[in-house]
Amino acid sequence: MLKFAFRNLLSRSLRSFLCLMGLTIAIAGMVGLFSIAGGLEKTVAQTFGKISGIVAMQPGAPIPLFSRVPRAWGEEIKTIPGVAIVNPEIWSRVNIIDGKPVVSPPRFLFGTDLPTRTRLKHGIYRDSIYAGRFLDLNDQGQLNAVISRQIAEQHEKQVGDTIEVNGQDLQIIGLYETDSILLDVAIILDINVVREITRFDPESVSCFYIEQTGEIKNDPLVESIKDQFRDRELASWQPASLALANGSSSNLLKDLMQSLDQGLKGNPPAESKPNEAEVPVKKQSAKSTEANIKDREQESPSALEVRAAADWGDRLETFTADLDIFLGLLTGIGVLIAMLSIINTMLMSVMERIVDFGILKANGWSNRDVMLLITAESSLLGVVGGVLGGILGLIAIAIVNWKFADQIHLYASPGLLLFGVFFSTSLGVLGGLYPAWWTTRMTPIDAIRRG
């Protein structure tokens, strides 16, 4: 049956080829679109899977770059049980490198407190050094920098070279690579050097990176840090600080940025936002649990927003799940066109072979045999279209990842490719059902007469 179906498709090679190309492009588009979410998930897993600590920063700030917190609060965090090391950090955008403006991909100055940084048990940048060395205590106050492989290759730099950043000449002492486009964007310096270069407020830092002792789990530790800074005054970060345009459009942009920020943090809109007291508590009786929640609802919000790396990953995984829905809607358009193409191809093929089917039925073929033949033809188109679509999608993904290695990373998992083939085959089967059903309604005499 399959051999017969294959010969029938070859007998109308141009029509079969055009139908096959439509299905191939649709599946390739599906693989390409869903590889966006897959790449984001893989990047998030690679990034936050390497970070075991906790970050404390300004409430509302989406990333440490926009955060400002009092420098002195680090000393208070050190006294909280479960905290091992508190490393102050400063993040600032790089505008010019070697006299050339930096637009995309973005680059950042990362200032870290060296006495505490060198004491961290797990330092992702320190552990990712592949040439030269990481910063040590002797680099305090010095214009010595550690840069990523991407920055070094982009500007043709090596260990020992000088790189001009925002008008300041820095000596490269080390190169690192974490294999994450979210992390390989930094130029690492002593925190006081970054403070001088960027004229950062001497009484503030961007955030605190906190390494745990391991005696207390992350969730209770996060709540303890938040509780320490309740009733403090620290303005929440607002998207308006990005100096958006004035007028009605600025309100729209501001609302959009707020929605994105709240979405990444997993918070509902402001009017329905639950109090932080709704964080799960230890198992107690129903009455005591309700009482604790009511007590916490009366507390003021914390002046610090504290997030564990795993929490960042969970929030972004939720975001990618929503992204899959959007990408699925876009893919549906191409899939619908491909399915209509299959139906059209098979229907035209059936109409041209009415006499053939009438003769076959007159010679003993049953309606089931005719349906199997037509369905086999459309299924072959589906299988081949799915395989070719997956291959085309992989080629396109490889080209994008190679061309824009520092800006985006797409990833098509084996599961996505198998789903593409299965989905394409299903489309082929469904696309052949109507022409097959239409054919079986005719008697052999009617088929021969119509032909």
Burial class (CB in 10 A: 0-12, 13-18, 19+), 321: exposed
> With left for phi above 0 and alpha for psi between -120 and 50, is residue 372 left, alpha or beta?
alpha
Compute the mean pLDDT over every residue in the chain, rounded to the nearest whole number: 78
Global pTM reads 0.64
In this prediction, residues 174-203 reach a mean pLDDT of 91
* Distance, CA of 178 to CA of 201 (rounded, Å): 30
Q: Which residue has the higher pLDDT, 251 or 123?
A: 123
Of the candidates 43, 185, 167, which has an alpha carbon nearest to the alpha carbon of residue 98?
167
Strands 168-176 and 144-148, bridge-based pairing:
parallel
pLDDT at 224: 92
In the 8-state DSSP scheme, what is residue 184? T
Give CA–CA dist 128/123, Å, rounded. Answer: 8
First-to-last alpha carbon distance for the chain, in angstroms, is 23
pLDDT band at 245 (very low <50, low <70, confident <90, very high): very low
Per-residue model confidence (pLDDT) at position 73: 94
143 burial class (0-12, 13-18, 19+ CB within 10 angstroms)? middle
Continuous segment of H or E residues that includes residue 88: strand 83-93
Amino acid of residue 372:
L
DSSP string, 195-217: HHHHT--TTEESEEEEEE-SSS-
Token pair belonging to 157: 């730099």
Q: Which residue has the tokens 């505490």?
A: 116
Higher pLDDT among residues 121 and 46, named by residue = 121
> For 44-58, 130-144, 347-361, 386-400, which range has the lowest pLDDT when averaged over its residues?
347-361
Q: How many Å apart are CA 289 and CA 301, to the nearest integer?
A: 20
Closest by CA to 112, choosing from 181, 179, 176, is: 176
Tell me the CA distances in angstroms from 363 to 1, 82, 317, 375, one per residue in order: 16, 84, 59, 20
Q: H helices within 187-308, ranges in order?
A: 191-198, 218-228, 248-264, 286-297
pLDDT at 211: 92
Rounded CA-CA distance 377/388 in Å is 17
- Tell me, what's the pLDDT at 232? 83
Alpha helices in 79-162 (DSSP H): 114-117, 149-154
pLDDT tens readout for residues 393-412: 999 999 988 887 766 778 88
Name the residue with higher pLDDT: 271 or 229: 229
Q: Let me know: does 159 contact 129? Beta carbons within 8 Å.
A: no
Percent of the chain predicted with pLDDT > 70: 73
Report which residue type is found at 213. T
| 63 band by pLDDT with thresholds 50, 70 and 90 | confident
Question: Given this model, what pLDDT does residue 8 score?
Answer: 67
Q: Does residue 385 contact residue 439 with C-beta atoms inside 8 Å?
A: no
Q: What span, in angstroms and rounded, lies between the C-alpha atoms of 412 and 41?
A: 11
Q: How far is CA 151 from the centre of its chain?
A: 22
Rounded Cα distance, 4 and 372, in Å: 11
Q: Which of 267-271, 315-319, 357-361, 442-446 has the lowest mean pLDDT?
A: 267-271
Return the ∠ at Cα 193 (arms to 187 and 197), rounded to 5°: 85
Residue 71 Cα distances to 21, 87, 236, 408, 442, angstroms: 61, 11, 16, 34, 84
Question: What does the pLDDT look like over 422-434, one tens digit per residue?
Answer: 888 888 788 777 7
User: Does residue 268 have a cis peptide bond before it, meaning omega lies within 30 degrees of 0?
Assistant: no
Confidence of residue 136 (pLDDT cuts 50, 70, 90): very high
Nearest by Cα to 151 from 135, 136, 131: 131
Residue with tokens 């000393």, as numbered in its chain: 75
pLDDT band at 169 (very low <50, low <70, confident <90, very high): very high
- By three-state DSSP, how is residue 96 classified? strand
278: amino acid identity, one letter: E
d(CA 385, CA 29): 12
Q: H-helix or E-strand containing 108?
A: strand 108-112
User: Do residues 144 and 168 lie in contact, with contact meaning Cβ atoms separated by under 8 Å?
Assistant: no
Three-state DSSP class for 85? strand
